[in-house]
Amino acid sequence: MSELEIRKEIIEICLKMEKIGLNQGTSGNISHRYKDGLLITPSGIAYEELKPQDIAFVPFSDKKNFKGKYPPSSELDFHFDLLVAKPEINCVLHNHSTYATSIATCQKEIPPYHYMVAVAGGKKIPCTSYATFGTKELSNSIIKTLQGYSACLIANHGVVTVAKDLKKALWLAIEVENLARGYIHAKTIGEPVVLDDKEMDKILEKFKNYGLKKTK
């Protein structure tokens, strides 16, 4: 993809997140690897007002030396650090979806009450330890929690998903929110029965070929 195509897709995914309720206003942020750096949504600009030239470029050589009309997202640290630490991914998507964030405020994970938790790459949707937004401590906490996973809850904050492309990152974010909603509803009836490790091992094996196979 060209730089312009990536900038346009970032805005497209931002608008989709808002339309389906994963984010509201200026909450959340998106980044995409590009050449020797990353393209990231700017700080404090409403999605519907974004234009391709508003997306900031941050070189991996110096995160303070950004290029753009507006400064990059206040969560630049964890976007930057994840893309450096995980060369297998190209995109980081962060949102404040209602149900997943509700669980995150309890600093709890989503257990394997449903086999679909395997979409995140493991036997649960993990939750980070708490750290103030926009800090290196938060970045470190997210990187630690995402070891072996492609999605996690951020304590008292929201959700982050990582993927090779933005469509997959958005798909994961939607799945996490669906799982969170289902878990909260199930808890109103009783204590959900969780699948054991043996069953989750079988599911994870099946999930090696599950999900989005190809995106443009």
Give the separation between CA 22 and CA 44, rounded to whole angstroms. 17
**Contact (CB, 8 A) for 55 and 10:** yes
What separation in angstroms does the CA of 61 have from each of 3, 65, 66, 98?
19, 9, 10, 36
Token pair recorded at residue 20: 């389906």
Q: Are 28 and 52 in contact (CB under 8 A)?
A: no
The set of residues, in sequence order, having a beta carbon less than 8 Å from that of 170 and lying 6+ positions away, is 13, 16, 17, 93, 161
Active site residue 75: yes
In three-state secondary structure terms, 154 is strand
> Cβ neighbours of residue 148 under 8 Å, at least 6 residues apart?
121, 122
Neighbours of 69 (CB within 10 A): 11
Tokens representing 126? 């993990």
Residue from 9, 75, 175, 177 carrying the catalytic annotation: 75
Active-site positions? 75
